[in-house]
Amino acid sequence: MEGVIYLEDGTIYQGLGFGYKGTVVGELVFNTAMMGYQEVLTDPSYSGQIINMTYPLIGNYGINEEDNESDRIHAKGLIVKSICHNPSNFKCNKTIEQWLREMKIPGVYHVDTRSITRKVRMHGAMKCVLSNEGLDSEELKKICEMEALRWDYMKDAGTKERIHIDGKGPRIAVLDLGARRSIIESLKKRDCHIILFPYGSTAEEIKACSPDGLMITNGPGNPKEAKEAIDEVGKLIKSGLPTFGICMGHQIIALAIGGDTFKLPYGHRGGNHGIYDKNKDCSYITSQNHGYAVKPESVILKGMDITHINLNDETVEGMKHNKLPIFSVQFLPETAPGAQHTAYLFDDFLRLMTERK
């Protein structure tokens, strides 16, 4: 099956198709993780994106029932150098080829993924058409020009209704912008009583459940498109509710206090991003997936202290208010897949709520 990738600047990559037979349009991004393709594809933060994996062999340990970060694949398409048709792992119950067909996600392989990555690094994330159903270049060009990209996927990536998860610990209101399952599991592990709220929930609705704290999760898209969430989070922050933001939640907090965000040239996506924790005077390797970052000077002026920085480009990776009980990080503290060294942030959140009481 022929596979082709068409970029908005007219660049074409020819390869072979796999997975579901179809054509999709999305934002082309790359991920540098050497493992965790199942978690990456099911991460809601990848909604609307076509993922180019830089690691050359994908699918070698197959697909299992335990490693999904949500109930489906959120990425629009997958690009890899080579796929494994004969995986070897005791938990494996299907190949990545079978999985993509079931989930109706098209893929292209046998292309130069390093060249594609260099293209994105030089020119930034761009619109892309991925097809494995035999379309010619003129048809692909027309599709690329006609279909616009969405930037507000956070509005429908999370839960559609309020969900209660019983626990004996603190009551946590979770504003779900596209939460990874491992974030919720990290709270459950600490016996928290969790109330998941969908996008569009008001500050009054959240406060009515008498939470001890608020968590704002990861999610896809441009944070400035989440205007309703920014307004409601601003009200909750002013009320003094202990708040912990992760990824998109970190950016929402920045905007809610009057700060600003900007789009990174090609984002941070992978399981090997170094960050520095100023308070602990320690560096960590983290898992990341974001295309936007917080402008440091904009939040410092609003009372935020920068607590974590990225060791590659020195962008903001974490912040904490110097008076209010608010902190946030740009990376994934539960890190699935990857090292577990930054899970201490969940414990910091629990201590913050205890101190506030």
**Strands 304-310 and 316-321: what pairing?**
antiparallel
Q: What is the mean pLDDT of residues 60-67?
A: 95
**Residue 356, pLDDT score:** 81
Do both 122 and 192 map to the same domain?
no
Do both 233 and 337 map to the same domain?
yes
Do both 76 and 196 map to the same domain?
no
Q: 6: Cβ–Cβ under 8 A, 6 or more apart, which residues?
A: 12, 128, 129, 130, 131, 137, 140, 141, 143, 144
Q: Please report how many Cα atoms fall inside a 13 Å half-sphere around the Cα of residue 195, on the Cβ side.
A: 17
Do both 39 and 127 map to the same domain?
yes
Lowest mean pLDDT among 114-118, 123-127, 332-336, 341-345: 332-336
Does the pLDDT value for residue 134 go beyond 80? yes
Does the pLDDT value for residue 15 go beyond 70? yes
**Residue 357, pLDDT score:** 73
What range does the domain containing 125 cover? 2-149
Q: What is the mean pLDDT of residues 48-70?
A: 96
- Beta partners for residue 213, in sequence order: 172
Mean per-residue pLDDT of the chain: 96
Instruction: Tell me the CATH number at 238.
Output: 3.40.50.880
Do both 160 and 128 map to the same domain?
no
Do both 181 and 319 map to the same domain?
yes
**Strands 261-277 and 304-310: what pairing?**
antiparallel
Q: How many domains, in total, are found in the chain?
A: 2
Do both 158 and 136 map to the same domain?
no
Instruction: Tell me the CATH number at 121.
Output: 3.50.30.20
Do both 257 and 141 map to the same domain?
no
Do both 180 and 129 map to the same domain?
no
Do both 171 and 250 map to the same domain?
yes
Least Cα distance to 287 among 190, 213, 218, 191 occurs for: 218
Q: What is the pLDDT of residues 135-191, one digit of tens each?
A: 999 999 999 999 999 999 999 999 999 999 999 999 999 999 999 999 999 999 999
**Residue 334, pLDDT score:** 82
Q: How confident is the model at residue 28 (pLDDT cuts 50, 70, 90)?
A: very high
From CA 357, how far away is CA 264, in angstroms rounded?
Answer: 38
Domain final residue, candidates 127, 149, 171: 149
Domain final residue, candidates 98, 121, 149: 149
State the sign of the Cα–Cα–Cα–Cα dihedral 231, 289, 307, 181.
positive
Do both 112 and 214 map to the same domain?
no
Q: What is the mean pLDDT of residues 70-97?
A: 97
Domain final residue, candidates 149, 183, 209: 149
Do both 314 and 231 map to the same domain?
yes
**Residue 336, pLDDT score:** 60
